[in-house]
Amino acid sequence: MAKMAKTLKTLEKAAEGSTGKGKVFFDMGKYEEALQAYGEAAETRKKMADLLLENGKEESGNIFLEKVFEAESRCGMALFKLGKYEEALEVIDKALELKPESPTEWSNRGFVLSSMGRNGEALEAFDKALSLDPESPKIVTNKGVVYFRMGLPEKALETFDKALATEPKKVSDWACKLPRFSFFSRNKAPIMRPDNAETWYWKGNVFLELGEKEKALEAYKMALESDPDHLNSLLCGGALLCEFSEYKGAFKCYVRALKLSPGIEAAKQGKELCEEKINQ
């Protein structure tokens, strides 16, 4: 038993390390590296589960099988980010065979199907997810994205407004941070509000598609009030601020974007343009 405990401890350390690396790589946009790291985490967790089950520790073994599922689910999202939609869908469908009542996996399925242009099936997947978790603003937002991709901007805006009106029930759906950067907030006290940056970002995209640039900029500002590190809103907000000749605000956006992801060419070019305009 002592030998098994030592082996499990070593494997756990390796699995935690791989999972941590995977998250860092994913957040940095290095999806190939994230996929490899999450795959290693899944393999290690599987070894732990097998070892426990072989030694009659069924309850503990099943706990680690659940962690295998979590790692494989993350692999699916890395595949999605890499544009390997068919492979991502296979991973998600396998996950749904094991956990058919998972709103997260149904939502992931909808995301992948929408990216494949299978929007009708995507809406069905999101409806299934909402039947399992009807109060999730994130799932409602995902459904709105599908309407946007279908060329239904008014329906998309209606759906995003519904998401914004839904009060999150999970701690992870709330922002509680210092507003280190904001377009217009000078409040330096800790804040507690819903983390609905993604919803505001997509709402901004709809307004931009409709040619309503002022409303789009306001939406990107709201996204950054919710999450100062929302990369896409920093980039889109910066581009619009440049169009409105608000180069100092745009410069802040691009500087922050480059801190989050140094390799973004659009942010580099935008920063250089702002520096040129500010110094004229």
Domain final residue pick, 83, 116, 149: 83
Mean pLDDT of the chain: 87
174 band by pLDDT with thresholds 50, 70 and 90: very low
Mean pLDDT value across residues 89-117: 91
Mean pLDDT value across residues 87-115: 91
* Residue 175 β-bridge partners: 193
On whether residue 178 sits in a domain, the answer given is yes
On whether residue 95 sits in a domain, the answer given is no
Phi, psi of 132 (to 5 degrees): -90, -25
Helix (H) or strand (E) segment spanning residue 119:
helix 119-132
Do 184 and 278 sit in the same domain of this protein? yes
Do 174 and 71 sit in the same domain of this protein? no
On whether residue 212 sits in a domain, the answer given is yes
Choose the weakest-confidence range: 6-10, 66-70, 187-191.
187-191
- Beta-carbon count within 10 A of 117 CB: 12
Mean pLDDT value across residues 180-203: 66
Domain that holds residue 198: 167-280
Cβ atoms of residues 31 and 82 within 8 Å: yes
Task: Tell me the H-state helices in 55-84.
Answer: 58-81
On whether residue 115 sits in a domain, the answer given is no
Instruction: Give dist(CA 223, CA 157) in Å, integer.
Output: 15
Based on C-alpha coordinates, what's the Rg of the chain?
21
pLDDT at 187 exceeding the cut of 70: no
Specify the pLDDT at position 27.
80
Specify the pLDDT at position 256.
95
SS3 content of the chain, % helix, strand, coil (to 5): 75, 0, 25
Specify the pLDDT at position 154.
96
Do 274 and 181 sit in the same domain of this protein? yes
Cβ atoms of residues 78 and 31 within 8 Å: yes
On whether residue 7 sits in a domain, the answer given is yes
On whether residue 141 sits in a domain, the answer given is no
CATH of the domain at 26: 1.20.58
Domain final residue pick, 83, 118, 150: 83
Domain final residue pick, 83, 113, 142: 83
186 band by pLDDT with thresholds 50, 70 and 90: very low
pLDDT at 6 exceeding the cut of 60: yes
On whether residue 129 sits in a domain, the answer given is no
204 band by pLDDT with thresholds 50, 70 and 90: very high
Number of domains in the chain: 2
